[in-house]
A and B are shown apart, each in its own frame.
Chain A
């Protein structure tokens, strides 16, 4: 163990206490609180501040015999121009009898005020107490221990707190051989710099007992996960100076009193547990980024009017207390015409026992590429203030850049107007829904395949043969009218002849011949189914000869027609004649007979 390298070595001047506070203080302490009868121990009254020793009023030390003292020692310290003074009044006493021995307050005037010290109680036992001086290692825990002190034991995720590791020893700490610092798992840690190199030694009084105290390390921690998290203590391998029990062997030792030996001690502490809880969910802003502390934000745009391609600087400064190191550059929202470069980050962060504080500056360089007015929006700063227990949003102002066309714009133009870009697909999203009114119909309402549909088709298909049947019947009927006409031809002719007979008696020659002609032509056209308009003498002659009717009859028929027509065109010359009438009747009856 001795071969082990000494990491740090310190020497202390005994009884020179320094700087607890600048205010007046008067503290009583004993080197032991448990003593055996007849054992010597030290009582000290330490005044810090400008104490007037003449005003010192000794305490009542009943049950104790003062072997030596009061002896005074004083120290003056000047730190940064502040002077602090300490005066210690020491007694070497011995307990006389068993029991609790109380030491009443002493008092002294410090800075014009009388200040009383704390009373002390000393327990006096019959047997000498095994206080560990003989067999050091076994009971070292009572004489020396490690403490881990946190500023808060219940904390929010990401909230900063400090942890202090201290080593206490009743014996004077000479040096450290090996210090094993914990590595703060589940925390983001930052060791407070000015305490990294120097281990500060001081004397602290705990429950009336003086301890040599070494502050090993102080660190600022930011919990990174929730739940109960253990913080491991430091493990220290240190060297202390213990008075040896040996009788002074040399004259040198005899001369200087008690001899000391250096003892190596291993001190281990217990881990402490802190509870990390999540931040309250209610009112949690959407874009909250786990910044905890108390911050302020200021933004500055170095110029609002600029020319194209001229750099503009936008600086955003976030200052305050909290996890500053975790603060990322706030997003800024810019139109595409303004180019943005990654921000330059300037940190001025100090870490001390009160935590992390300082400021962080982000400097964006913006280069407008097109003239016009461009809006610059800065993401607001959102943090959780654990003092006020609420989320705070600090909005940032919106800037408007007024960009004019630069003089040498043509040369430096980055986006030339001829340069065309493809539309870049940013996201693959579906098209929007179809809106508007619908002609909604239910499935069963379909016309196709319905009874109506098929019956309509059937009906129409059936109509075709029906139409054909209808047409045939119509044709037949038409054919019948021809037959009727043939049948009725003689009768019709007879009718006309009867009218002609009437005109004969009335001697109306014009109408008489007219009726005879009507009778003759009508009869002929009806009998041989020839249109009345197409009937003429030539056709009559032709048809009659075709039908094999005697030329005699044909001649008389034509002659009759000729006579009638002649009489009609010259009515004055003709008179109704009985022979004509008879000849007409004769012709018709002869043809009628031939028909049968």
Chain B
């Protein structure tokens, strides 16, 4: 019994933390409903600072920014939410609405069909969903292999061998999907311009030549980093260097 005490305490603490964060989330939502957007924003930000990552927190925080007229920040958090729920209708709708308020108009070219398909498959489950799937498939495969080895009848042997092989393939696919999903969520290879009017330079230095000027809210792909400078590629294939303080990684 003495050994169980710390475990029970830990569980209680976890339950408390879980409940608290959930009530914080509800509190922030209430503030939002009362149109106290700035206050709701603080609570959502606190949750994220506490290490809670959930598409809904990001999405709601994006809404708070939208309501307080910070469109670029709103887009940043919508994009963060989109990484978790890429096919969520509300997130995508709000991104589209927010884009209407941007100064620059940059067409978003569609990604290759294969990439799109792979991404949507990878994001149909969570990272852990895929990981669990991988383990389950491996166990299934192992059990079928055991049947194959131990059975004497040739029909049983044949069926169990092939299903075991299929399960192994399924496990490998699940693993790659888990990895892809994890990459999509955690990799920071995109950024949003936050500065209201940002000069994009030809080289990562203060006196570099100005190539073009973009305004807040534009998304770019991060190609390179050099000190305080990021090399960004916009969706219309414009490439240039921008200072780290002007952008935020998604």
Chain A interfacial positions (CB closer than 8 Å to B): 428-435, 437-444, 446-449, 453, 456-457, 460-461, 463-464, 467-468, 471
Tell yes or no: B203 within 8 A of A by CB.
no
Residue of A428, A443, A447, A471 touching B53 (CB-CB under 8 A): A443
Supplied contacts A442-B52, A460-B139, 9 more A-B pairs, CB within 8 Å: A428-B100, A429-B97, A440-B22, A443-B53, A447-B127, A453-B131, A460-B138, A463-B142, A471-B149
B55 to chain A, nearest CB (A): 8
Residue on B nearest A463 in the bound complex, by CB? B142
Closest to B57 in A: A438
B123 close to chain A: CB less than 8 A: no
**29 A–B contacts from the bound complex (CB under 8 Å):** A430-B63, A430-B74, A430-B97, A433-B29, A434-B90, A435-B29, A438-B54, A439-B54, A440-B21, A440-B54, A441-B54, A442-B50, A442-B52, A443-B53, A444-B51, A447-B127, A447-B128, A447-B131, A448-B181, A449-B131, A449-B182, A453-B131, A457-B134, A460-B135, A460-B138, A460-B139, A467-B142, A467-B145, A468-B149
Q: Which 9 A-B pairs have the closest CB atoms?
A: A448-B131, A442-B51, A433-B60, A460-B138, A434-B56, A447-B128, A431-B90, A430-B94, A471-B149
| Inter-subunit contact B145/A464 (CB<8 Å) | yes
Q: For B93, what are the chain A residues with a Cβ–Cβ distance below 8 Å? A: 430-431
Nearest Cβ on chain A to B19's Cβ, whole angstroms: 10
Determine if B182 and A467 form an interchain contact, defined as CB atoms under 8 angstroms apart: no
Asked whether A448 lies within 8 Å of B178 as measured between CB atoms, the reply is yes
Interface bracket on B: 35 or more
Question: Which residues of the other chain, B, contact A439 by a CB distance below 8 angstroms?
Answer: 54
The prevalent SS among residues of B at the interface is: helix
Q: What sequence of 0s and 1s flags, for each residue 125-153 of chain B, a beta carbon within 8 Å of any chain A beta carbon?
A: 00110111011001101100110011000
Chain B residues in 8 Å Cβ range of A434: 56, 59-60, 90
Residues of B139-180 at the interface with A, using a CB-CB cut-off of 8 Å, are: 139, 141-142, 145-146, 149-150, 175, 178-179
Of A433, A441, A447, A460, the contact of B52 (CB 8 Å cutoff)? A441
Q: What CA separation (Å) do A210 and B162 show in the bound complex?
A: 128
Complex Cα–Cα for A337 and B57 (A): 42
Contact yes or no, A440 B52, CB < 8 A: yes
| B44-88 Cβ-contact flags toward A at 8 Å (1 or 0) | 000100111110110110010010000000100000000000000
- Nearest CB of B to A51, in Å: 76
Cβ-closest chain B residue relative to A474: B150
- Taking a contact as CB atoms under 8 Å apart, the answer to whether B22 and A437 are in contact is yes
B32 at the interface (CB under 8 A from A): yes
Is A457 touching B32 in the complex (CB atoms < 8 A)? no
B58 to chain A, nearest CB (A): 10
- CA gap between A476 and B130 in the complex, in Å: 40
Q: Which listed residue, B47, B54, B135, touches A457 by the CB 8 Å rule?
A: B135
Which one, B18, B32, B178, contacts A433 given CB within 8 A?
B32
Q: Is B243 an interface residue (CB 8 A)?
A: no
Of listed A439, A440, A471, residue having the most chain B CB within 10 A? A440
B33 nearest CB across to chain A (Å): 8
Complex: chain A residue closest to B186, CB-CB: A443
Q: Which residue of B lies closest to A434 (CB)?
A: B56
In the assembled complex, the Cα of A433 lies from the Cα of B55 at a distance in Å of: 11
The answer to whether B127 and A446 touch across the interface, beta carbons within 8 angstroms, is yes
Residues of B within 8 A of A429 (CB): 97
Do B32 and A447 touch across chains, with their CB atoms under 8 A apart? no
Collect the chain B residues with CB atoms within 8 Å of residue A433's CB: 29, 32, 59-60, 63
Within the complex, what minimum Cβ distance (angstroms) separates A141 from chain B? 61
Q: Is the CB–CB distance between A464 and B142 below 8 Å?
A: yes
Residue of B22, B94, B138 touching A438 (CB-CB under 8 A): B22
- Cβ of B229 under 8 Å from chain A: no
Using A428-B100, A437-B22 as known contacts, say yes or no to A467 and B29 having CB atoms under 8 A apart. no
Report yes or no: A440 in contact with B66, Cβ–Cβ below 8 A: no
B149 x A467 contact (CB < 8 A): yes
Q: List the B side residues contacting A435 at CB < 8 Å.
A: 26, 29
CB-CB < 8 A to A457: which residues of B? 134-135, 138, 175
A461: which B residues are within 8 A, CB to CB? 138
Chain A proximity of B145: nearest CB distance (Å): 6
B52 to chain A, nearest CB (A): 5
A391 to B50, CA, bound (A): 49
The reply to whether the CB of B241 lies closer than 8 angstroms to some CB of chain A is: no
B25 CB–A CB distance under 8 Å: yes
Whole-angstrom CA separation of A12 from B69 in the bound complex: 72
Residues from chain B with a CB closer than 8 A to the CB of A467 are 142, 145-146, 149
Contact assessment for B127 and A448 in the assembled complex, using a CB-CB cutoff below 8 Å: yes
Cα–Cα distance between A433 and B57 once the two chains are bound (Å): 9
Question: Which B residues lie within 8 Å of A463 (CB)?
Answer: 142
**Residue ID in chain A nearest B97 by CB atoms:** A430
Contact of B135 among A443, A446, A449, A456 (CB under 8 A): A456
- Nearest chain A CB to B75's CB is how many angstroms away? 11
Cα separation A444 to B108 with both chains bound (whole Å): 33
Task: Tell me, rounded to whole Å, the shortest Cβ–Cβ distance linking B207 to chain A.
Answer: 39
- Name the distance in Å between B41's Cβ and chain A's nearest Cβ: 12
* Residues on the A chain within 8 Å of B127, using CB: 446-448
